[in-house]
Amino acid sequence: MAATHLRRPRTRRTRSLGAAACAATAALVAVEVRRVRRRGRAATPSHERVRGGRIAAREKVEVVRAGYRAGSANETAVLNLFVAFGTTFAVARAVTHSIRRGAGPWRNIEIGRRHIHHFVPGIALALLSGGLSIGLRHEQVDHWLALPFGAGAALIVDETALLVELNDVYWSDKGVLSIDVSFGTITGLACLTLLVRLIRRGEAAVRVS
């Protein structure tokens, strides 16, 4: 009974954090889509649309590229950080599930009798990319370094419970802490990206006025 009572608040918390992460991500995607459309070119003429979907697809790719490049260095860096973190977290969870089920080509990495958890390469990625960003101090490079930094951070955060408990509790009830922290981080990064967008718009409006 005690275990059941403990699981219920954890389940509610995880669902709430997951819902917040989904809502924040949806809001960010909506803002990005709107911004990209504004940066896009005029609609393709009807007689060209009849020729097939290749022109429309090419148009969309060009619009997305233009909208991505139009952002400031800070906007692009935060967006890359968010995308890298969320994608890596999802992939890490999928791979670990595959390993646990014994399906697919993935296997645990072991050196001798020691199991190498994925927070180890995560630490290496975060330290390397963060160190390069601090050392180079170049805006054109920072937004690319945000990708490995976000990926490394996701690998670390996905095993928060292991680091807190100092034990392999990834698949236990205590391991849910890793999911909660990851959902919270995704929500925070999405909100941060939206905030950077809002600040830039505010600065642009003040300059115009």
Residue 33 C-alpha from the chain's centroid? 17
pLDDT digits (tens, 9 = 90+) for 97-144: 999 998 889 999 998 888 899 999 999 999 999 999 999 988 889 999
Sites in the chain below the pLDDT cut of 50: 1-6, 41-47, 49-50
Residue 38 C-alpha from the chain's centroid? 24
H/E/C letters for each residue in 34-75? HHHHHHCCCCCCHHHHCCCHHHHHHHHHHHHHHHHHHCCHHH
CA–CA dist 181, 77 (Å, integer): 22
pTM: 0.84
